[in-house]
């Protein structure tokens, strides 16, 4: 395929234009009066959302040069979502403003490298000030406030998330799923989460969120590494006959075995996900046993005389109501009404308590307490309902955003919301030292850029941006801000309008990082437009050998 190369001013112009297209679509969602965006789906009704990263990821521009710019800002939203779980719209708005202001400086002939140095100093100073003025989350009401703001002012969502955290602890496991009715409910069930995700991204069933979700799967627990597929064939065939998915938790899965599992998963021969077992050494064996007890299964280990190739039915496999696997975590949710499992879990918890009493190692005690918490606390499930599928999905998106924001708040604390934390933090730049005038330009650029979130919130509410910015500039109270819902100036903390410190910090860091890259770019290479209409090309798939097995499966 032939390529086209764009240089200099034309390159920068196209990139900035592409960034602006995405920023305009994402920016309208910011604040309590931000608007929703309808996203066309490949089938079914459109997706209605205010989630910045969902809007950004849905954008694919026809003009290849513009799309390069779009991808820059999409990467900002994605990275912010990955790190903080929220703040993607704020990051996008800041990145757009930063790119435009930095470009003006370069067009004016100012040394852009020195400008970037000054801007970098400014970002570091602002983040330090935001952290200094952060307050820890102290109670259930503050948790509810964070969740309410992040869910677009939905107090019910805020209260449900606060209730869920109260039941399983602030660091407990909380998942979100569809309700079978119109109601929004919190249910605490048996389950656990451990810090291991899928071995390959090809196992993801939801490509947008890059997660695997299975309902009523079998769970195969292996205390061994699997490199060849042949020992797995009997149990895979047994599971395939049931039509249910399989979660394989093992020391590791690689080589031919991994290739065959991915191939059959992509073909739909069997739904499967492979996950590395949590822990190391003896602790790994104990955690596998914990999972076995929770799922009513057995750990397949040759130490007990059980060989994998001899497992040819599902009798030794565990089960669960639901399993969610991300790149970093695996969550197992089980039916709380199973009395046999309840008894086994209680007995296992008692064993762990005795081990805690007997150990003299602080480290060992900490790890045992972690295991006990995983088994004892269970999983809080937020069941989200709605009158229609579109309404349910939109609300579920807001619940997930609010949950991410709440976790970020618990981790690093909270600051006044509505964009004022960054707005007031910019005042530290008045006394920031610089080495030359070009660096001062960079510092002033960041100061101006930090007005962008406030301006966008006011704009979306139909207010006058300059009037609000001017009014806040006169204030000596760092908690004073503009409540876009009531169109009044209020004490943001007292009004319950707060943002997680981690979200604010990450949004600024990621936005400046990408803006800095954009301004350092002077050429781009894209496919020629005419080459895109030459017909479909068959892509390479995941290969796998054939070693016999049931029809339709590749082993």
pLDDT tens string 14-44: 999 999 999 999 999 999 999 999 999 888 8
pLDDT average, residue stretch 80-98? 90
Integer Cα distance of 169 and 154 in angstroms: 22
What's the confidence (pLDDT) of residue 532? 52
Structural domain boundaries in the chain: 3-135+413-527, 137-183+385-407, 184-383
What is the pLDDT, as a whole number, of residue 69?
A: 92
- Identify which of 277, 262, 260, 284 has the alpha carbon closest to the alpha carbon of residue 221: 277
| Residue 215: strand, helix, or coil | strand
For 3-135+413-527, the fitting CATH number among 3.40.50.150, 3.40.1640.10, 1.10.560.10, 2.60.40.1220 is 1.10.560.10
User: In the structure, what pLDDT confidence band is assigned to residue 226 with cuts at 50, 70 and 90?
Assistant: very high
Dig out the tokens for 197 from the structure.
């995700």
For residues 473 and 481, the answer to whether their CB atoms sit within 8 Å is no
pTM exceeds 0.85, yes or no: no
Number of H helices, E strands in the chain: 18, 21
User: CA torsion 381→46→155→127, rounded to 10°?
Assistant: 90
Question: Which residue, chain included where needed, has tokens 């003299």?
Answer: 360
Class of domain 137-183+385-407: alpha beta
In the prediction, which pLDDT does 337 show? 65
Averaged pLDDT for residues 120-149: 94
Domain 184-383 has CATH 3.50.7.10: yes
Q: What is the pLDDT of residues 150-194, one digit of tens each?
A: 888 899 999 999 999 988 887 778 889 888 888 899 988 778 888
DSSP reduced 3-state for 49: strand
Share of the chain above pLDDT 70, in %: 95
Banded model confidence at residue 82, pLDDT cuts 50, 70, 90: confident
CA distances 42 to 20, 39, 58, 96, 438, Å, are: 26, 10, 12, 29, 49
Cα(436)–Cα(421) distance, integer angstroms: 28
pLDDT at 74 over 80: yes
Whether 468 shows a pLDDT value over 90: the answer reads yes
| Section 455-463 average pLDDT | 96
Residue partners of 146: CB distance under 8 A and separation at least 6: 137, 158, 402, 405, 406, 409, 414, 498, 499, 500
Can you state the angle between helices 8-27 and 501-519, rounded to 10 degrees?
A: 160
Mean pLDDT of the chain: 89
Name the token pair of 412.
């690093």
Percentage of the chain exceeding pLDDT 90 = 62
pLDDT at 424: 97
The DSSP output letter for 216 is: S
Q: Which residues are annotated as a binding site?
A: 29-32, 50, 86-90, 418, 499
| pLDDT in the model for residue 553 | 65
Report the pLDDT value the prediction gives residue 541, as an integer from 0 to 100: 43
Residue 360: which pLDDT band, with cuts at 50, 70 and 90?
A: confident
pLDDT of 471 reads: 96
Helix (H) or strand (E) holding 189: strand 185-194
Mean pLDDT throughout 391-402?
A: 90
Q: Which of 51-60, 67-76, 367-376, 431-440 has the lowest mean pLDDT?
A: 367-376
Q: Do domains 137-183+385-407 and 184-383 have the same CATH topology?
A: no
Q: Assign residue 348 a region: left if phi > 0, alpha if psi is -120 to 50, beta otherwise?
A: alpha
Higher pLDDT, 232 or 8: 232
User: What's the confidence (pLDDT) of residue 43?
Assistant: 83
What's the burial of 262, exposed, middle or buried (CB within 10 Å: 0-12/13-18/19+)? buried
pLDDT level of residue 84 (50, 70, 90 thresholds): confident
185 DSSP 8-state letter: E
Q: How much is the pLDDT for 272?
A: 96
- Residue list, annotated binding site for ATP: 29-32, 50, 86-90, 418, 499
Phi, psi of 194 (to 5 degrees): -130, 160
Cα gap 421→433, rounded to integer Å: 22
**Mean pLDDT within 112-116:** 94
Decide if pLDDT at 382 tops 70. yes
């Amino acid at each position: 395929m032939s390529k086209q190369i764009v240089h200099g001013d034309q390159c920068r112009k196209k990139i900035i234009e592409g960034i602006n297209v995405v920023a305009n679509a994402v920016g309208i969602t910011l604040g309590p009066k931000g608007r929703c965006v309808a996203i066309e789906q490949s089938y079914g009704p459109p997706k209605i959302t205010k989630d910045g990263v969902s809007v950004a990821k849905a954008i694919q521009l026809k003009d290849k040069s513009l799309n390069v710019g779009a991808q820059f800002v999409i990467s900002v939203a994605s990275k912010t979502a990955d790190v903080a779980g929220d703040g993607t719209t704020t990051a996008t708005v800041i990145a757009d403003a930063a790119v435009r202001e930095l470009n003006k400086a370069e067009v004016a002939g100012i040394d852009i490298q020195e400008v970037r140095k000054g801007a970098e100093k400014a970002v570091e100073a602002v983040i330090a000030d935001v952290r200094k003025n952060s307050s820890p989350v102290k109670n259930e009401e503050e948790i509810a406030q964070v969740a309410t703001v992040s869910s677009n002012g939905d107090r019910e969502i805020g209260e449900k998330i606060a209730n869920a955290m109260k039941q399983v602890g602030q660091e407990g496991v909380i998942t979100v799923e569809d309700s079978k009715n119109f109601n929004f409910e919190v249910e605490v069930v048996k389950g656990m989460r451990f810090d291991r995700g899928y071995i390959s991204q090809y196992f993801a069933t939801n490509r947008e969120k890059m997660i695997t979700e299975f309902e009523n799967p079998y769970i195969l627990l292996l205390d061994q590494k699997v490199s060849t597929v042949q020992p797995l064939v009997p149990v895979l065939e047994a599971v395939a006959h049931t039509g249910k998915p399989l979660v394989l938790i093992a020391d590791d899965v690689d080589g031919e075995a991994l290739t065959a599992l991915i191939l059959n998963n992509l073909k739909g021969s069997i739904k499967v996900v492979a996950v590395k077992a949590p822990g190391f050494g003896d602790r790994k064996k104990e955690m596998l046993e914990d999972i076995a007890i929770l799922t009513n299964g057995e750990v397949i280990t040759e130490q007990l005389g059980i060989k994998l190739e001899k497992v040819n039915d599902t009798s030794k496999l565990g089960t669960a109501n639901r399993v969610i696997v991300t790149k970093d975590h695996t969550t197992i949710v089980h039916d709380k009404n199973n009395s046999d499992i309840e008894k086994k879990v209680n007995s296992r918890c008692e064993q762990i308590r005795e081990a805690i009493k007997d150990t003299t190692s602080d480290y060992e005690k900490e790890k045992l307490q972690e295991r006990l918490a995983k088994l004892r606390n269970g999983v809080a499930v937020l069941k989200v309902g709605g009158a229609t599928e579109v309404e349910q999905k939109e609300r579920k998106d807001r619940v997930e955003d609010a949950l991410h924001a709440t976790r970020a708040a618990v981790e690093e604390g909270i600051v006044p919301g509505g964009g004022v934390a960054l707005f007031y933090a910019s005042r530290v730049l008045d006394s920031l030292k610089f080495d030359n005038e070009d660096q001062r330009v960079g510092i002033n650029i960041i100061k101006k850029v930090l007005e962008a979130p406030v301006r966008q919130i006011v704009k979306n509410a139909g207010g006058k941006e300059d009037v609000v910015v001017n009014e806040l500039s006169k204030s000596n109270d760092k908690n004073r801000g503009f409540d876009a819902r009531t169109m009044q100036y209020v004490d943001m903390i007292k009004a319950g309008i707060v943002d997680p410190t981690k979200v604010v910090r990450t949004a600024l860091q990621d936005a400046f990082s990408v803006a800095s890259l954009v301004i350092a770019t002077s050429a781009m290479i894209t496919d020629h437009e005419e080459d895109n209409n030459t017909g479909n090309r068959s892509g390479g798939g995941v290969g796998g050998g054939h070693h016999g097995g049931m029809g339709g499966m590749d082993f």
